[in-house]
Amino acid sequence: MRHRQSGRHLNRSPEHRIALLRNLTRALITHERIVTTVAKAKELRPFIEKIITFAKKASLVADQGDGGRAKALHYRRLAIADLGPLHGTGIYNKEDELVEGNNTVVKKLFNEIGPRYKQRPGGYTRIIKQHYRRLGDAGQTAIIELLKEGETKVRLKEPRKPAAPAPALPATE
């Protein structure tokens, strides 16, 4: 039984699972939209949202003076610890060519993505299930993407309206 054990195993060992989530996170930060299986996308969402929250907090406290810069550095180090070894984590364009300059995943995360979500209370990603399946094993595929600045998630259903009050019973004597 799996009492009180959260998360999906994804048919991998714990080390392999962490490496998979780190690689998916780096790809999502780089491209801001990736296609993967539904299970991997659902498991990736809380992992990357915690890292984006570090970047958001760092951008919020960086303006508070010297103490804020120290806290921002702390948040950066926490994100680096979650992202793992950063060798070879440059930013690539659509043609898989390295973008010029000394850009890395961490710099993009803290310079672009973190400030983008300064006013957002959470929910930085969107998962869109695709109707066709993956070639080979017919796994369900999904697109996971970062929301744009000021964009909101679309709700398909309207929130439920409160129930109408019960009709009053006639008074009997």
- Using DSSP bridges, classify how beta strands 33-37 and 140-146 pair: parallel, antiparallel or unpaired: antiparallel
Domain ranges in the chain?
14-146
Is 153's pLDDT higher than 80? no
Q: Position 145: which residue type? A: E
Q: What is the DSSP string of 48-100?
A: HHHHHHHHHHHHHHGGG-HHHHHHHHHHHHHHHHHH---TT-B-B-TTS-BPS
CATH code of the region 14-146: 3.90.1030.10
What percent of the chain has a predicted confidence (pLDDT) above 70?
95
Task: Tell whether the model's pLDDT for residue 68 goes beyond 80.
Answer: yes
pLDDT band at 171 (very low <50, low <70, confident <90, very high): confident
**What pTM was computed for the model?**
0.81
Is residue 156 over pLDDT 70? Answer: no
* Predicted pLDDT at 98: 77
Task: Please provide the distance, in angstroms rounded to a whole number, between the alpha carbons at the two ends of the chain.
Answer: 60
**For 31-55, how does the pLDDT look when each residue is reduced to its tens digit (9 = 90+)?**
999 999 999 999 999 999 999 999 9
The amino acid at 38: V
* Residues 85, 39: Cα–Cα separation, whole Å: 25
Residue 168 to residues 60, 161, 162, 165, 173: CA-CA distances in angstroms?
54, 20, 17, 9, 15
Cα 94-100-103 angle, rounded to 5 deg? 90
pLDDT at residue 149, as a whole number: 87
Burial of 114 (0-12, 13-18, 19+ CB in 10 A): buried
User: Phi and psi at residue 122, in whole multiples of 5°?
Assistant: 145, 180
